[in-house]
Amino acid sequence: MGPKNSHIAYIEDHSGNGTFVNRVLVGKGRRLPLSNNSEIALSIWNNKVFVFFDLTVDDQSVYPKELRDQYIISKTLGSGACGEVKLAFERKTCKKVAIKIINKKKFAGSEREVDPALNVETEIEILKKLNHPCIIKIKDVFDAKDYYIVLELMEGGELFDRVVNKRLKEATCKLYFYQMLLAVQYLHENGIIHRDLKPENVLLSSQKEECLVKITDFGQSKILGETSLMKTLCGTPTYLAPEVLVSFETAGYNRAVDCWSLGVILFICLSGYPPFSDAKNQMSLKDQITSGKYNFIPKIWAEVSEQALDLVKKLLVVDPKERFTTEEALRHPWLQDEDMKIKFQNLLFEENKLTALPPVSAQPSTSQKRHLEGEEEDGNADTTKRLAVWAALS
């Protein structure tokens, strides 16, 4: 028997409409080699219908058995401060999910929080409690050597990639921003402040421009409860220091931090550049923000409606008590747009239709299963193992 790499799996294109491997067109009658996790699409590059798993590559045994029993872990989708996010397939249904791996060791060394485990647990606790179409849903959690958080998959990537050095159409900004506001309104109603809203933490459901958006990454979030300040203020203020009384004036406005961030996101989406930055500015970034002096480029804003700019202005208000709340923003004239709301309802309807599909049985055969679980191979299994598991993508 030859060495393992003497066998090459390839795909030959006999289709009428074109076949793509990892976005590359194969070409009629031509071949392209397949490697582990290659994605095969038909007609157009993003109409992905198959994924190729090379069973000679043992990339599953690094994951805990409980996770492997339920999911096949595939390519990396992205990475954040605490670890990687992987694409995975649920064995029972063949549905795609995202698995966020929180590296316990690496995370323990980060300066993100005094007790990192608490931080992750808070994030998990928050995500489990929440149920909103514009907030990422948690499907499962595996607490092993690392944390494995199974999340619904967002195929459109980050909002960040759609706004970096380019602007969105105003109608698209409105559709996205409306959803962000609904999500943050829901969070605030449930006593949660996100505290890290930015285009990187807004994920899109598809590659299409008109899609659902969902807020993610609750690693910095806070659950509002009775604070020690509140308890202090229940007593007599006779001995209370002035700074405590002053801080009471702004207590209860903590959630306004999210509305400021939403204002910054809306500014970026509409104009394609950030309101506050170090680049080409006389003022320090800190002074720009604390004075609320955003970088206004008339030529760019000339293409944006007055109503949209008005909403930005009402969110980027330095005094948190004067700043628009999510309710006020949702009542703003710019968002009284029935066509946009119908579009959103249709997208929701489409998503619910897809998630309600009956499960497809995609259990690997016994021999394939044996290998996936990392058992010993039999003598002449080399070529047979090369045969891929073809998983139909949901």
What is the residue whose two structure tokens read 């795609």? 96
3-state helix, strand, coil in the chain (%, to 5): 40, 20, 45
Examine residue 292 and tell whether it contacts ligand AMP (CB under 6 A): no
Examine residue 136 and tell whether it contacts ligand AMP (CB under 6 A): yes
Examine residue 90 and tell whether it contacts ligand AMP (CB under 6 A): no
Choose between 147 and 294: whose C-beta lies nearer to ligand AMP: 147
- CB within 8 Å of 151: residues ≥ 6 apart: 85, 97, 98, 99, 100, 136, 137, 138, 139, 216
Cα(193)–Cα(258) distance, integer angstroms: 7
Region from 61-69, 73-81, 244-252, 358-366 binding ligand AMP, contact rule CB under 6 A: 73-81
54 is catalytic: no
Examine residue 203 and tell whether it contacts ligand AMP (CB under 6 A): yes
Size of the site for ligand AMP (CB under 6 A): 18
Label residue 200 exposed, middle or buried (CB < 10 Å: 0-12, 13-18, 19+): middle
Q: Give least dist CB 219 to ligand AMP, A.
A: 8
Q: Is 305 helix (H, G, I), strand (E, B) or coil?
A: coil
Please report how the helices 256-271 and 170-189 are oriented relative to each other, as an axis angle in degrees rounded to 10: 170
Examine residue 197 and tell whether it contacts ligand AMP (CB under 6 A): no
* Candidate list 79, 284, 345, 383; residue touching ligand AMP; CB under 6 A: 79
Cα(184)–Cα(329) distance, integer angstroms: 11
Q: Is 146 helix (H, G, I), strand (E, B) or coil?
A: coil
Cα(99)–Cα(277) distance, integer angstroms: 33
Label residue 17 exposed, middle or buried (CB < 10 Å: 0-12, 13-18, 19+): exposed
Residue nearest to ligand AMP (CB): 80
Examine residue 64 and tell whether it contacts ligand AMP (CB under 6 A): no
Region from 5-13, 18-26, 76-84, 318-326 binding ligand AMP, contact rule CB under 6 A: 76-84
Choose between 40 and 203: whose C-beta lies nearer to ligand AMP: 203
Examine residue 183 and tell whether it contacts ligand AMP (CB under 6 A): no
* Candidate list 98, 120, 215, 312; residue touching ligand AMP; CB under 6 A: 98
Span 143-182, contacts to ligand AMP by CB under 6 A: 151, 153-154, 157-158
Examine residue 99 and tell whether it contacts ligand AMP (CB under 6 A): no
Q: What single-letter DSSP state applies at residue 210?
A: S
Of 301, 347, 317, 312, the C-alpha closest to 167 is 301
Examine residue 393 and tell whether it contacts ligand AMP (CB under 6 A): no
Cα(190)–Cα(330) distance, integer angstroms: 17
Choose between 45 and 160: whose C-beta lies nearer to ligand AMP: 160
The two structure tokens encoding residue 291: 């004075």
Q: Which of 140, 143, 196, 337 is catalytic?
A: 196
Q: Give least dist CB 151 to ligand AMP, A.
A: 4
Question: Which residue ranges make up the site for ligand AMP (CB under 6 A)?
Answer: 77-80, 82, 85, 98, 100, 136, 151, 153-154, 157-158, 200, 203, 216-217
Residues designated as active site:
196
